[in-house]
Chains A and B, each alone.
Chain A
Amino acid sequence: MRIVRRSGWGILVVVTLLVAGVAPLAGQNGAYRAPRADGGHPDLNGIWQVMNEANYDLEAHNARAAMALRPGPYGPVPAAQVLALGAVGSVPPSMGVVEGGEIPYKPEALAQKKQNQENWLTRDPEIKCYLPGIPRATYIPQPFRIFQNASQIFFAYQYAGAVRNIFLKDPGPAPVDSWMGQSVGHWEGETLVIDSKGFNDQTWFDRAGNFHSDALHVVERFTRTSPDVIAYEATMEDPNVFTRPWKISMPLYKRQEKNAQLLDFKCVEFVEELMYGQWRKNPLSR
């Protein structure tokens, strides 16, 4: 009895300590007041980048020898096409960024995802330098710049020179499907909420074959939680592929380098040999 009571007190003390311990953090989350941009909303201007492994695989995963694997005598080994990359071609581990751990695929869609993963080399749109779509553009591990004022919000991504204009007044349904979709933004207090639809079914979520259909609907939330951090959330809804909406979350960090700027990453040029090399007059060895 006494022991239990002591434990009880102990727990209380721990809880109290924990509350006290996290109080400054909670204070930051609740009471941090971001500097204002032109227009009076939190200032999201700047160059931001993730620091995580989401682009490899949104779900929790162990390190893997390569993105493309084949059966070896004692377990998977790198596929022949990526063998030369050695450790550079391996996949770093991650606790994952999906709330609840797993993406809620419908059974047939899960089979498709697995097939995508097995055919990563020929199917991942990133390999061909195609536009990344949303939300992948956010966590491709390259910087992007947000331009924001009272009347316009615009995202420029270093990867593939992708861009995204955020309408602040809904122009109505997207007239045509596109890789980056049509985005409409509004402010909910301290949070920028961006609602995106009008996607085609060509983009993936990561290098692990996670995919969607053209019914994809993404709602993102950007909230500044400290001078150098935006808390980022994206909720994906696509009744063709998933049993319910699911959410990812991750911090975005402000690039600190004084000389940070977006530079050219026109990877279209980098994939010409891959995509057109066989049609050269004098093809190189492949």
Chain B
Amino acid sequence: MRNLILAGIPAMVALLICAPHPAAAQAQKAPAKAYTPKRMADGHPDLQGTYDLATMTPVDRPMGAPAAYTPEQAQKIETAAALQREKGDESISGNRTAPPKGGDGSVGAAGNVGGYNSGWLDPGSKLTVVRGEIRSSIIVDPPNGRAPQMLPAAMQRAAAGRARPTSDAQENTNDPGLEKAPGAYDDPERRPLGERCLLGFGSTSGPPALPDYFYNNLHQIVQTPDAVMILTEMVHDARVVRMNGQHPPKNIRQWMGDSIGHWEGDTLVVDTTNFTNKTRFRGSSENLHVIERFTRVDDRTLLYQFTIDDPETWAAPWKGEYTWPATDGHIYEYACHEANYALTDILKGARLREKEQAAGKTSR
């Protein structure tokens, strides 16, 4: 497995060299001066800290967007988002006017009469900057910045498995009552993993660890010579990366996979396999193989790179990268299951609606 990974790295470099987009071209520029990271007692770079993964840069590049924005374009995008946020915050100011009856018709988590107003949310206010470039997508390979199409067999498998939502499914907070998938409210197992408090949504726990574009995006890294612990704030998931370990037998399956690590120079390389068949990152199979690379690029920033490899789902591996800025904020307890009244209410509500419909009462 290790050989396979190492073999993949020159391929990635070759792709970056050949790719015509500015992100790749920029990647080849030598940094102005070599950065020397602070080191742990064992001589490896100190990757520790608490990081805020929230960013406005989406995983997939918006259609028509360049690979990297000019500072002017970026400022326009960030300012527009800030204004929208300010508007959303009006609903929590004391002198607001009452919203129109039935909601204001806006969509999104903070919209209409939805579950959250924007004061609760922390979706990220900046685009991610990698090697000085303001990126429009986290995905960098394929060069169009968009996840490749799934293989036909994988699409069939995903359609058959649609009964159970994927781990990166977002909550439909605008109006869950309108969700159309047949049977989506029949059983707790049919609800998204985030709603069940099994994992955070939006692949926040990963791997790959991605921004959830919603809230609670903090991650903490604690590093020892034998193991590196990566804590995901949402649903308090600690992933233990065992250094120079071996993956357990195939029958041992973990929600976040089994992670082993090694150092390549000043980069921590983490190899994860042994996923459950319930995680299904973007429709992946349980044979998903994720390789992550953590590199400290300055005292307050980690570069996070990942490769998604699952021949049962995609014809070729695909890659992404973004930066993790350090934060001085603390991670507080995300006790999700302990107060999960929503799951009862969601299922109970569905049963009530069925009862009303059977009795001939109209219901949305």
B266 to A: closest C-beta gap in Å? 18
The range of chain B's interface size is: 35 or more
Question: Given A131, A150, A176, A279, which contacts B347 in the complex, CB threshold below 8 Å?
Answer: A279
Q: Flag if A161 contacts B248 (CB, 8 Å).
A: no
With a cutoff of 8 Å between Cβ atoms, the chain A residues found around residue B185 in the complex are: 281
Binds B, one of A59-67, A86-94, A96-104, A268-276: A268-276
Q: Bound complex: CA of A264 vs CA of B229, how far in Å?
A: 15
Q: Which one, A39, A131, A277, contacts B338 given CB within 8 A? A: A131
**Which of B245, B255, B337, B350 contacts A281, CB < 8 Å?**
B350
Question: With an 8 A cutoff between CB atoms, is B240 at the interface?
Answer: yes
Known: A45-B226, A148-B224, A281-B350. A266 touches B333 (CB 8 A): no
Known: A149-B41, A279-B348. A131 touches B335 (CB 8 A): yes
The 3 A-B pairs of least Cβ separation, nearest first, read A279-B347, A178-B333, A281-B186
Q: Which of B222, B245, B348, B350 has the most CB of A within 10 A?
A: B222
- Which of A130, A161, A202, A276 is packed against the most chain B CB atoms within 10 Å? A276
- How long is the Cα–Cα vector from A266 to B41 in the complex, in angstroms? 34
Is B236 an interface residue, CB under 8 A from the partner?
Answer: yes
- In the complex, which of the residues A45, A180, A280, A281 contacts B333, with contact meaning CB atoms closer than 8 Å? A180
Q: Judging by beta carbons under 8 Å apart, are B351 and A156 in contact?
A: no
Residues on B facing A (Cβ under 8 Å): 40-42, 48, 183, 185-189, 196-198, 220, 222-227, 229, 231, 235-238, 240, 242, 245, 248, 252, 254-255, 330-333, 335, 337-338, 343-344, 347-348, 350-351, 354
Stretch touching chain B among A4-12, A188-196, A255-263: A255-263
Q: Are the CB atoms of A279 and B338 closer together than 8 Å?
A: no
Assess the A147–B186 pair: CB atoms within 8 A. no
4 new A-B contacts, CB < 8 A, other than A154-B220, A154-B231, are A38-B224, A145-B240, A178-B333, A272-B188
Complex interface: chain A residues within 8 A of B188 (CB)? 272, 276-277, 279-280
* CB-defined contacts of B330 to chain A, threshold 8 Å: 171
Of listed A147, A161, A162, A279, residue having the most chain B CB within 10 A:
A279
Are A161 and B48 neighbours in the complex by a CB distance under 8 Å? no
- How long is the Cα–Cα vector from A175 to B115 in the complex, in angstroms? 24
Within the complex, the shortest CB–CB distance from A49 to chain B, in Å, comes to: 15
**A276 contacts B333, C-beta separation under 8 Å:** no
Contact of B220 among A165, A171, A272 (CB under 8 A): A165
Most buried by A among B248, B337, B351: B337
Please list 22 pairs of residues, one from A and one from B, whose beta carbons are closer than 8 Å in the complex, sorted by A's number.
A38-B42, A45-B227, A147-B224, A149-B41, A149-B48, A149-B223, A150-B41, A151-B48, A156-B238, A161-B235, A161-B236, A161-B237, A162-B236, A175-B332, A178-B335, A261-B248, A263-B252, A268-B198, A269-B198, A272-B189, A279-B347, A279-B350
Residues of A within 8 A of B254 (CB): 263-264
- List residues of chain A with CB within 8 A of the CB of B344: 275-276, 279
Residues of chain B within 8 A of A150, CB atoms compared: 41
Q: Which residues of A contact B227 (CB under 8 A)?
A: 45, 145, 147
**A residues less than 8 Å from B350 (CB atoms):** 279, 281
CB-defined contacts of A232 to chain B, threshold 8 Å: none
Given contacts A163-B236, A180-B333, A279-B344, contact A272 B338 (CB under 8 A): no
Contacts of A37 in B (CB 8 A): 224
Q: Would you call A120 an interface residue if the criterion is a C-beta within 8 Å of the partner chain's C-beta atoms? A: no
- Which A126-163 residues have a C-beta within 8 angstroms of B? 129-131, 145, 147-152, 154, 156, 161-163
B197 and A268 contacting across the interface, CB-CB below 8 Å: yes
A151 CA / B223 CA spacing, docked (Å): 10
Whether A149 lies near B332 (C-beta < 8 A) is no
For residue B236, which residues in chain A have a CB less than 8 angstroms away from its CB?
Answer: 161-163
**Is A179 part of the contact surface with B, judged by Cβ < 8 Å?**
yes
CA distance A156 to B236 in the complex (A): 10
Residues in chain A near residue B335, CB distance under 8 A: 131, 178-179
Contact of B343 among A129, A175, A179, A276 (CB under 8 A): A276
B196–A272 touching, CB < 8 Å: yes
- Rounded to whole Å, the gap between the CB of A44 and the closest CB of chain B is 10
A residues within 8 A CB of B198?
266, 268-269
With a CB–CB cut-off of 8 A, which chain B residues contact A156? Answer: 229, 238, 240
**Interchain CB contact (< 8 A) of B337 among A129, A147, A148, A163:** A129
